[in-house]
Copies of this chain bind each other. A is one copy, B any other.
Amino acid sequence: MSEKQVLDNTIAQNTSAGQIAPILINVEDYHQAAKAKLPKMVYDYYRAGADDELTLQDNVNAFRRIKLRPRVFVNVAHHDRDENSCSVTLLNGQTKCSFPLLFAPSAMHRMADNKGGERSTARAAVRANTVMILSTLSTTRIEDVADEHQKALKEYPQSTSQLWFQLYILKDREFTTRLVQRAEKAGFRALVVTVDASRFGNREADRRNSFRLPADMQLENLYDAGLKQADGKHDSALNDYIAKNLDATLTWKDIQWLRQISRLPIIVKGIMTAEDAQLAVQAGVDGIVVSNHGARQIDTTFSTIEVLPEIVSAVRRIETTKKVDIYLDGGVRRGTDILKAVALGADAVLIGRPILWGLAVGGCQGVVDVIDIFKREFKLAVMLCGCTSLPNGNNISSSPYSHLVAMPRSRL
């Protein structure tokens, strides 16, 4: 055998599918492994966007089009030694994460990890040293998630992980109030109010599959939420539930209502315009998430990274007594994506689908591994771009990193 044949055989043995576990070295690997493992209806639910899924692709592609301008010959050795060289402090000092990435709220984790569900995710957040935002549409009770989080914190006492609670405001305001009070009592440290979902969007994959929850689970924090059947033939049981139960009359006044029933910091999720960012700040929120709901609501809206600059600009222009955090989700798949979002003014990013792929592939450990991939990629990107510290673009014109990203000059 030639030397080439010897070497090629070694690699073939390493990579042949079916002989050993697939090689999982990036987020897309986890995506493909999860796709192979999950039942179609579940995978489609997690993956889908609205209508023709143009924004779903755009969320990812817009990040790719943004170009980095790396500086060289900069002393970046400390990033290797110091675990926390890129840590962030959020919500005016209340929260610390090892790097600027949080778990976005996503529904129904038990479809990915039947045994552990949201408890696996909470434990992974502790080990990853970051925030898990629990969805109202959780397949695990609020208190049970909190219990698991507490248990894990005892095992990993160095962790600064927190739980935040994502809230859908229901027509039944009393029920909503009790949800909020339960979350506060269970130790959740902030409320993340979804503002872009008066209805759920047209997710055609769910309609073709007549999406419904598997037999052995339900939305544990809501009532009559088995989601076993939709009214129409090709409709999602979840969309039906949402249409019947969510309050579609919500306005900015409802932030005042929320302030009356909770003292927790309030973050609004689903801001896509400078105008709404301004209204959010004026309504006194503690943070906003620039988000198009994973491209699952309205299709042909902008990608989130594309509207981040106008929103950062609008928010920072307003004088406030306390800082308003700006987060971004949608399409974050690489360490360079985190770098771009932060350099353009986000305090942190949220990731949604990658957590679910990690859960599906390996439960808690799978999620930890996915976060490790992001950490590793992010720190490498920070070093290779010549950033001695976190390239926070909060005041982009005076930021030492204003050189770092360049918007594409033209695009399709």
Across the interface, which residues of B come within 8 angstroms of A292, CB to CB?
A: 70
CB distance from A45 to the nearest CB of B (A): 11
Majority-rule SS of A interface residues:
loop
Mark out the residues of chain A between 354 and 412 whose CB falls within 8 Å of any chain B CB in the assembled complex.
377, 380-381, 383-385, 403, 406, 408-412
> Which of A118-126, A203-211, A314-322 lies at the interface with chain B?
A203-211
* A275 and B71 contacting across the interface, CB-CB below 8 Å: yes
Mark out the residues of chain A between 9 and 53 whose CB falls within 8 Å of any chain B CB in the assembled complex.
10-12, 14-15, 23, 25-26, 37-42, 51-52
* B297 and A198 contacting across the interface, CB-CB below 8 Å: no
Digitize A57-95: 1 where CB-to-B-CB distance is under 8 Å, 0 elsewhere: 000000110111111111111001000000000000000
Q: Does A199 contact B (CB under 8 A)?
A: yes
Apart from A3-B114, A14-B208, A72-B268, 12 more pairs, CB < 8 Å: A3-B39, A11-B39, A25-B207, A25-B208, A26-B204, A54-B64, A70-B196, A72-B276, A75-B251, A199-B384, A298-B336, A410-B410
Which positions in A face B, CB cutoff 8 Å? Answer: 3-4, 6-8, 10-12, 14-15, 23, 25-26, 37-42, 51-52, 54, 63-64, 66-77, 80, 114, 195-196, 198-199, 201-202, 204, 207-210, 214, 234, 243, 247-252, 254, 268, 270-273, 275-276, 279, 292, 297-302, 307, 334, 336, 377, 380-381, 383-385, 403, 406, 408-412
